[in-house]
Structure 1
Amino acid sequence: MTLSWFQIFRLGLVQMALGAIVVLTTSTLNRLMVVELSLPAILPGLLVGLHYGIQLTRPHWGFYSDTGGHRTRWIIGGMVALAIGAFLAACGVLAFETSFAVGLTVSLIAYTLIGLGVGASGTSLLALLATTTAPHRRAAAATITWLMMILGIAATAGIVGQFIDPYTPQLLLRIVAIVVTTATLVTCLAVWRIERNLIAIREPDPTPFMEGLREVWGERKARNFTIFVFLSMTAYFMQELILEPYAGLVFGFTPGESTSLSGAQNGGVFIGMLAVGIMATGLKIGSLRNWVVAGCLGSAGSLALITFLGPMGAGAPITYAVMLLGFFNGMFAVAAIGSMMALAAQGKERREGTRMGLWGAAQAIAAGFGGLIGAGMVDILRTSMTDTQAFGSVFIAEAALFIAAAAMAAKIMDRKMPKATLVPGE
């Protein structure tokens, strides 16, 4: 048997839980460090970069994803590690108030657990989807789970933003504890007995890992797409650690308001993904290549708008500009996912997992690198510029990367790449 649509949606709940926890570490806790504690933005950048760095082992997980089964235990175990790490990260933020050394130590342990948890749970989930989903449903399954993750991020950011004001350390710990506990319970219920009667075990591939990886890297399409993923995702994540501090320092947003801003952005991402799914599949408008290019260019324009709103200060419609950025980010991301699923099956057989692992590693490197570069540039520029100018300069640099990614996508992606791969269909 293979996964039914209901079971695919159940596994999507795991992605939703992952997003709900991770958004706390990349938005709320990050903003508290930079604004309330006046710590340099590079610090949360390094911590988030740590958890992405640990995910460089994704090609190994992808290479072995075609052999074995019983992945439920790894999904649950990874979620538990992620939950503990997120709660420790909140404790680390509070520890910084009394001791920088203690806060840093706790945070390093916390973000290490977060990286291990996301890697173990997320990769095991994708492996389960890849080996138990009917071929004609795989692209739709990947997109459904991604959309549910974005929904989890947006919903959590919005709800936490409403309840965290007026901010107190005790309230922060209570909210984080509720979120991580709920996410863990949802994961356990979502994967309970789901592997029973599923065809999840395949014969092991005797090819050594490095040989298999070299074979994939030798494929021109796979190599070019890896470079594109790194470039575009660096642009995608450059604003991740600085957008909420920008809202707090330049527009006077409270912790709750800036957390809600993150929710608005991810709400825009969800709408953008859904819109492309409907137009590209239901209405047969445009190719995946064209949607990727349009999403990248629209993201660049939105970043320029966010920059130009800076001098207006409090009262500027920054929330709408951030939602617009999220919309174009979602447009680009879902089209790139569809392209990735189509390309994964091209080239040497039985290397789908390795290709996905390679692109996953490129994304992880770009996410950590992009966030770190964005935060580091802001810290350096704030020594010689106003906050508005410093943040704006980084946003413009990010826009330039999106334009470069659009140009590369237009050059390397197939103009005739299949359209109908984004939403459920037989």
Structure 2
Amino acid sequence: MAGARASTQGLGWLAIVRIGLVQASIGAMVMLTTTVLNRLMVVEYALAAGIPAGLVGWHYAVQLCRPLWGHGSDKGRSRAVWIVGGIMVLAVGAIMAVQSTLLMSDDFTAAMILGVLAYTLIGIGVGASGTSALALLASGVAPERRAAAAAVTWIMMVAGIVVSAITVGALLQPYSPERLFIVASGLLMTCVAVTALAVFRLEPRGGIGAHDFAQTAKAGPSPSFGEALREILHEKAARRFTVFIFVSMMAFNMQDLILEPFAGLVFGMTPGQSTQLGGMQSGGVLAGMIVAGIGGSAFAGRMPVELRHWIVFGCLGSALALTSLSMAAIVGPGWPIAANVFALGFCNGLFAVAAIGAMMGLAGAGKKTREGVRMGVWGAAQAIAFGLGGLIGALGVDAARRALATDGSAFQLIFAIEAALFVLAAILAVRATSAGAQTAHQNERGLETAGEGEVFA
């Protein structure tokens, strides 16, 4: 009995922070390719905005293979190998993307071929390292720490993006192709080194099996990839949660590409002012993550259903904030836009952390499948939803501006659609967590039937 209790304590806070460093490194490396290179292609190299957008969209599409990489980490002896391997592939892809950008003005065709290959590697690297890191977190964190662990890792990822963006921006002054290559190389090597140090001896002897407490109750060999996918698709809780992740993350990202244009076109803000407004939203997201992380851990029980209230409150709060933004689109200057955007970010942060916490709880609920393939399925749904959300939001505003009389009416329509998606996400969250609680309860009864000595042998 004492051994059983000790084994379920899971990863400590230092280990959780170390996994957060992996997420921070991934965020910093992706920032280079999706932000810095995007701006260079459009401004310095005068390319159509659709070119970098298409490359970024392609790296999201490649992440449809996340379940396959998650399954590979399930069958391996160490998730750390997959994490470090994925980070190295991401670094190679990122430096190739830099080379592709610098080649644009000399040989566009060769640059595009190199760019497609680069962003393919970026998608593979993000998927392999990110899925394995979250699977390690899900299999090793005690239930009462899941919300806080999700908050820590997401906050560190955002911090990695912010710190690297500020640092890279400062080091690129004055800009030159040579300076870009040197700065990018330094950033990538630093991130690879940080990741390698963060996961060094993170897993106890015996590899992932020593962390995977739920897996000890699953008899028989690890299923094949096809069998694992079939189990997930036939499991009501996993299927419903996949749909919830897709809808909520699409709603989450729809305003990403249109918020600053909205501030400029409707409120007459300068580029600097609209950038500050984006910073207000990011500040709200961080605040929401911290509140959900602390509150979710303080009040959460053993089941993902205890996080339902945080998810639903975050989704409905986001819907209310977006409804207010749709009103702001008509009212224009005079509306408390900064407070409105901060509230939107705060509610986004609440639901995002609670959803990741619930995801980690459901990841170990399968009869045979392990955390890697399940995290892969949900990671793929998130990646595609992110890509589609940003694209639909941008294209929707363009179409609405042509069809409707004013810019305000166009943004009002898109914000209203996004609010409706968040309401739908709240409904889906209730259904998914209810089904998840039933599945977990059935699994617990199975463990009790099996006997404590057999389970923890």
TM range (shorter): 0.7 to 0.9
8 Å Cα contact 2:148/2:294 also seen in 1: no
What is the match of residue 344 of structure 2? 325
What's the offset of the Cα at 1:187? 1.6
Q: Is the 8 A contact 2:292 2:353 kept in 1?
A: yes
Partner of residue 24 from structure 2, selected from 16, 21, 32: 16
Q: Deviations over 1:5-59 (max 9, x none)?
A: 3222112111111112223444454456567777555444432221111111222
Residue pairs, 1:294-373, within 5 angstroms: 294-307=313-326, 309=328, 320-373=339-392
Evaluate the alpha carbon distance shift between residue 284 and residue 122 of structure 1 in structure 2; reply closer, same or farther with a 3 A threshold.
Answer: closer
| Structure 2 counterpart of 1:57, one-letter code | C
Contact 2:97 / 2:119 at 8 angstroms: preserved in 1?
yes
Question: Paired residue for 1:122?
Answer: 130
**Which blocks of at least 5 consecutive residues in structure 2 are unaligned?**
1-6, 211-218, 439-457
Partner of 1:400: 420
Aligned partner letter, 1:63: H
Q: 1:165 to 1:146 in 2, by over 3 A?
A: same
Which residue of 1 is the match for residue 216 of structure 2?
A: none
Task: Tell me whether 102-111 or 353-362 shows the greater mean CA deviation.
Answer: 102-111
**Is 1:185 the equivalent of 2:201?**
no
Take 1:137 and 1:197, find their aligned partners in 2: how far apart are those partners? 23
| Correspondence for 2:80 | 72
Alpha-carbon contact 1:246-1:391 (below 8 Å) kept: yes
Return the alpha-carbon distance in structure 1 between the equivalents of residues 32 and 332 of structure 2: 26
Contact 1:41/1:375, CA 8 A, preserved across alignment: no
The 8 Å contact of residues 135 and 375 in structure 2, kept in 1 or not, is answered as no
Q: Structure 2 counterpart of 1:367, which letter?
A: F
Residues 1:48 and 2:56 aligned together: yes
CA distance in 2, matches of 1:178, 1:261: 30
CA distance in 1, matches of 2:312, 2:174: 42
Range moving further from structure 2, 218-227 or 136-145: 136-145
Q: C-alpha distance in 2, partners of 1:155/1:233?
A: 24
Structure 1, unaligned runs of 5 or more: 419-426
Distance 2:269 2:92 in 1: 32
Alpha-carbon distance in 2 for matches of 1:140, 1:279: 8
The 2-side partners of 1:95 and 1:392 are apart by 41
Which residue type is aligned with residue 291 of structure 2?
A: A
The structure where helix makes up a greater share of residues is: 2
Alignment check: 8 A CA contact 1:83 1:184 kept? yes
Q: 1:270 aligns with which of 281, 286, 299?
A: 286
Q: Show the counterpart of 1:377.
A: 396
* 1:220 corresponds to: 236
2:155 corresponds to 1:147: yes
Code of the aligned partner of 1:233? M
Structure 1 vs Structure 2 CA RMSD: 4.0
Question: Cα 1:278–1:72, aligned 2, differ >3 Å: closer, same or farther?
Answer: closer
SS of 2:73's partner is coil
In structure 2, how many angstroms separate the alpha carbons of the residues matched to 1:388 and 1:417? Answer: 43
2:292 alignment partner AA: V
The partner residue of 2:120 within 112, 115, 130 is 112
Q: Give 1:272 deviation, angstroms.
A: 0.3
1:34-90 alpha-carbon deviations (Å, 9 max, x no partner): 677775554444322211111112222333433322443432232233234334445
> Following TM superposition, by how much is the alpha carbon of 1:125 offset from its aligned partner in structure 2, in angstroms?
2.0
State the alpha-carbon separation in 2 of the partners of residues 416 and 249 from structure 1: 44
Evaluate the alpha carbon distance shift between residue 327 and residue 397 of structure 1 in structure 2; reply closer, same or farther with a 3 A threshold. same
Go from structure 1 to structure 2 and tell me whether the alpha carbon gap of 1:183 and 1:232 turns closer, same or farther (over 3 Å shift): same
Larger Rg: 2
Could you say what secondary structure the match of 1:186 adopts?
Answer: helix
Are residues 1:290 and 2:309 paired?
yes
Q: Given the superposition, is the C-alpha separation of residues 143 and 362 from structure 1 closer, same or farther in structure 2, using an over 3 Å criterion?
A: same
User: Cα deviations across residues 302-324 of structure 1 (Å, max 9, x unaligned)?
Assistant: 33444555678899865554433
CA distance in 2, matches of 1:298, 1:24: 32
Give the match's secondary structure for 1:414: helix
Find the counterpart in structure 2 of residue 423 from structure 1.
Answer: none
1:360 Cα deviation from its structure 2 partner:
2.0
* Partner Cα distance (2:330, 2:390) in 1: 24
Instruction: Give the direction of change, closer, same or farther, for the CA distance of 1:323–1:137 in structure 2 (3 Å limit).
Output: closer
Tell me which residue corresponds to 2:434: 414
Asked whether the 8 Å contact 1:344–1:352 carries over to 2, the reply is yes
| Aligned partners of 2:147 and 2:294 also within 8 Å | no
- TM-score (norm: length of structure 1): 0.80
Equivalent position of 2:227 in the other structure: 211
- Between the aligned residues of both structures, percent identity stands at 50
Q: What is the CA-CA distance between 1:275 and the residue it aligns to?
A: 0.7
Distance of 1:337 and 1:192 partners within structure 2: 25
Q: Could you say which residue in structure 2 is the equivalent of 1:60?
A: 68
Shift of 1:143: 4.1
368-377 or 313-322: bigger deviation: 313-322
Match of 2:205 in 1: 197
Q: How far is 1:329 from its partner?
A: 0.9
**Pair 1:207–1:109, CA change in 2 (3 A):** closer
Q: Alignment partner of 1:105: what SS? A: helix
Deviates more, 1:138-147 or 1:91-100: 91-100
Which moves more between the two structures, 97-106 or 45-54? 97-106
Partner SS state of residue 65, structure 1:
helix
Distance 1:175 1:184 in 2: 14
Matched residue, 2:13: 5
Q: Conserved in 1, the CA contact under 8 Å of 2:251 and 2:389? A: yes
Q: Deviations over 1:354-406 (max 9, x none)?
A: 33322222212212222232233344445556666555543332222112212
Q: Is the 8 A contact 1:63 1:354 kept in 2?
A: yes
- Aligned partner of 1:232 in structure 2 is 248
Q: Judge conservation of contact 1:26–1:241 (CA < 8 Å) in 2.
A: no
